[in-house]
Every structure is written in structure tokens, then in C-alpha cells.
Amino acid sequence: MNSRHKYDLVVIGSGPAGQRAAVQAAKLKKRVAIVERDELGGSCIHTGTIPSKTLREAILYLTGYHQRAFYGQGYRLKPDVDMADLTQRVNQVVEHERGVVALQLTRNHIEIIRGAARFTGPHSVAVSVPGGEPLDLEAGHILLATGSRPARPPDIVFDGRVVLDSDQLLSLPTLPRRLVVVGGGVIGVEYASMLSALDMEITLIDGRDRLLEFVDGEIVAELTHHMRVNGVVLRLGERVDRLDELSGSGGTVILQSGRRVACDAVLFAAGRRSNVEGLDLEAAGVEADERGRIRVNANYQTNVAHIYAAGDVIGFPALAASSMHQGRAAAYHAFKQAPLAYNEYLPFGIYGVPSISMIGRTEQELTRDKVPYEVGIARFRESARGQILGLEDGLLKLLFSIRDRRLLGAHIIGEGATELVHIGQAVMALGGDLDYFLHTVFNYPTLAGTYKIAALDAYNKLGEQLP
């Protein structure tokens, strides 16, 4: 039996949450080990955030998508884009990011242990090391950051070629001509909208009556219109009954309504499931729900006080950005016994075509809560920068309180949305109001200047005079 290796913190999982937690603890002069059974960086780098966002940029570049306003809808930088074209760029970015993670961990003297971890007690973890003797680890604190994986319907057989989940998409040898996407959440919308730019026939199926229920309704309406213009067929309020005769040559998706959709492949993007299998949570007394999500308090402690959890494994919002914050906050609390203060304004980014980002309240939420507000709108095509870039779509929407003129929400769809949202985030976090935008000079011509246009629109609706 090997001797027990002792640490201040053992982190299980090296995705955004685990990586940031390990580095934070190391900065506090703690002895840290990080256990990873697969590749450093987790699904964020290898199958999720980084590959999907890189894929989007590769598609937009190779298809000449942003230049079509000037050169016509038939314009293509590369007439026949294949999977090899797309994965070349993805592989370069993934390899670089994996190296960055490894460097950050080794530079902070964090021990990297390759293998599958499981609890053997509240303070002890056993690691099965490939080709080696099992390791026994003991730690004062343990952080679970094992991430999540695509949820799979139990009655569907996935072969990774004709029936696949989002983790398998980039492993396809060729692009299907006709693709059915099942699921109208963030992942389904991202892949359906970006792949439509490749002139694939995309059908998106979702049992709900609208896409992205947490997003402002007007923004969703703009997205829905744009996807339909790009040729995406939306089957909302529909559910899959079964798959019929799907093989290497394609087949048919049968909906519960009786409608039949012919396709070459089906991509299921209907939620995620936490990776907790094999951890033996019961040995440590840690509780999880039916989807594997681990319950935590405001400091990311599980029901066992010295065991923390962060990132996708705890569920919503399951964003790389929020996971980084959660991991760092958990480690800080573990060793400082104090919360790490962050402001409450969390931005959301949806990297579809077009992209969407938002922060704060939606119109629907303000109406429900009977909060009086006014709306300011700026369309990108009406700005000089929008004309220079050839943007035919794009909208920035600001919501202001009628009572005190404070910014309550910023909602953006279009080019650079996930970058532009941070202006609204900063103003909201600092308690800014309508007057900030009215009396601030923005560079010209810029898309950032649409904040001023939207603010002036709201000001005119309020019917007030400049002081």
C-alpha cells in the first residue's frame, strides 16, 4: 500500500473552475494537487467553449459571411468548406490553450495527477493512475470541479456519426448536408445558426414555443427572424417521437405530431448532466440531485463543510466565466474563511450567428414585477460603423428606470455583442444612469457609440430636457 500524500487542497477536475481554484489556493501558499482523468482544461478547452467558439470564427471567415452585404449573397472566400478546413483552426487554438493551462499550473507549483479520483472518506481520495499504482490522497479541503457532459435520451442510440451529441460534432469526418438539431437552448441555437452559414439544411426542433426563454423577448424575435432568413427551419412546440432508419446514408426523424423530417444526421443538444459517476460521493457524505448536480451554499460549500464544488457540476449558470469565479471564490473561502466579493451583474453570451449578450433585467421581468421603465433602441445598420462593416442586422437595447433613470438592463444581438455588453455591465455595477450615456463622448465611428444612440432614444421617449 502506498503512503498517503497530504495536501491542503485536492481539486478534482482541471476545467475553468478547478484551474482557478488550484491557482488561488497556491497563491495563498497552500499545497495543492489537481486530479484530471482526461485532458487538462476539461470540456471547456476540448469539446465545449473553446472549440465551438473557434468553429464559429472559422465558419464566418471561410464563408466570407460578413462580406456578403458588399459582394452579394453568393460571395464565398472558399467555395467548398469541409471539416478539415474547420478543425485545422480549432486544433491550433485548443493546443495553445491546453499549453496555457499546463503552464499556469506548473508555474504555481501545483502537482498534476493523471487518473480517475474517487472518495474513500470525507478527507481522502483514491486515484487510479493508468499504468501505475493507485495513489491515496489526503486533504484538509477538497473541491469538486468535474464539469458536465451532454445529456442523452435513454432510448436513443448514439453512434457519433449519424446520431451525435455536441461533444462529438467536431469528430465528424465530413459535414452532413441535412442536419436536424434537437434542442433550442444555448448549445442548440449556437450550432444551428453557425452551421447554417455553411449552406447546410438545418432543422431545429424544440418542445417549447420560443427559443432561449431567459433572453429578452425582442432579442429572441430578432434572432428567430435572422435564423429563418438564413434558411434554418424552426419546428417549435414539437417533440421527437423516434428516429426511423437512420444509417450512414441518413434517415428520418419522426415528430410526435406525425411530421417527418429527412436528414443525414441528428445532433442532440438538450441539456447537460453533471459528471459525478465514479466519484463515490456517498463515501464522503456529499449529496447530489437526480441529474448529478451538487448542491452548494453561497460560498460553494457542499453539505460537507470542507468539501466544495464549482463550475458545471453545480448546474446553472454553467458558464466558463462564472465557473472561473466560483472556483476562485471557493478556494479563497476555504483558506481565508471569508467570502470573495464579486458584484451581482453576470453577463451572458450566446455565440450564435448573430451573437447575443445580455446583462440585468429583461422587459418581461420588469413588466412582471411592475417596475416602470423606458426603452432605448439602436440598430447597428443605422450607425456609421455598422455601414462600414456591412452589418444588415444588430440591435442594442437599454432599459432605464423611470423613477431614477438608472440602467436596469442591456441586451444586444449582432456583431461584437459579447464584447459590447461589458460597457453596460460597468455602468450598472457602478450605479450609472441615463445621464452617463448622454454626457459621455464615445469614439466615432464605433459600435460602442450605439450606447449613446440608444440612450438618446430613451431620453426622447421620456420627454425630458437636457440639464
Cell of 157: 442510440
Residue 2 has pLDDT above 70, yes or no: no
295: CB partners within 8 A, 6+ apart: 287, 288, 289, 302, 303, 314
Query: pLDDT class for 242, splitting at 50, 70, 90?
Result: very high
Taking domain 354-462, whether its CATH number is 3.30.390.30 is answered by: yes
Q: What is the mean pLDDT of residues 74-103?
A: 92
Span 183-209, pLDDT tens digits: 999 999 999 999 999 989 999 999 999
The label of the residue with cell 487554438 reads: 93
Query: pLDDT class for 467, splitting at 50, 70, 90?
Result: very low
Same fold: 5-150+273-336 with 163-270: yes
Tell me how crowded residue 86 is: count the other CB atoms within 10 A of its CB. Answer: 22
Q: What is the mean pLDDT of residues 129-158?
A: 93
- Class for the domain spanning 163-270: alpha beta
Give the phi and the psi of residue 134 in degrees, each rounded to 5: -60, 145
Q: What is the mean pLDDT of residues 72-87?
A: 86
Query: pLDDT class for 248, splitting at 50, 70, 90?
Result: low
CA-wise closest residue to 214 among 358, 352, 351? 358
Query: pLDDT class for 466, splitting at 50, 70, 90?
Result: very low
Give the helix ranges, DSSP H, for 355-416. 363-368, 384-389
Residue 3 has pLDDT above 80, yes or no: no
Q: Hey, is 169 helix, strand or coil?
A: helix
Sheet of 395-401: strand order equals 348-350, 356-360, 407-413, 395-401, 373-379
Query: pLDDT class for 465, splitting at 50, 70, 90?
Result: very low
Candidate from 170-184, 238-252, 305-319, 320-334 with smallest mean pLDDT: 238-252
| Whether 219 contacts 358, CB under 8 Å | yes
CATH of domain 5-150+273-336: 3.50.50.60
Span 309-368, pLDDT tens digits: 999 999 999 999 999 999 999 999 999 888 887 778 899 999 999 999 999 999 999 999
CA–CA distance, 445 with 415 (Å, rounded to integer): 15
CA–CA distance, 433 with 406 (Å, rounded to integer): 4
Domain extents in the chain: 5-150+273-336, 163-270, 354-462
The separation between CA 107 and the C-alpha centre of its own chain, rounded to angstroms, equals 28
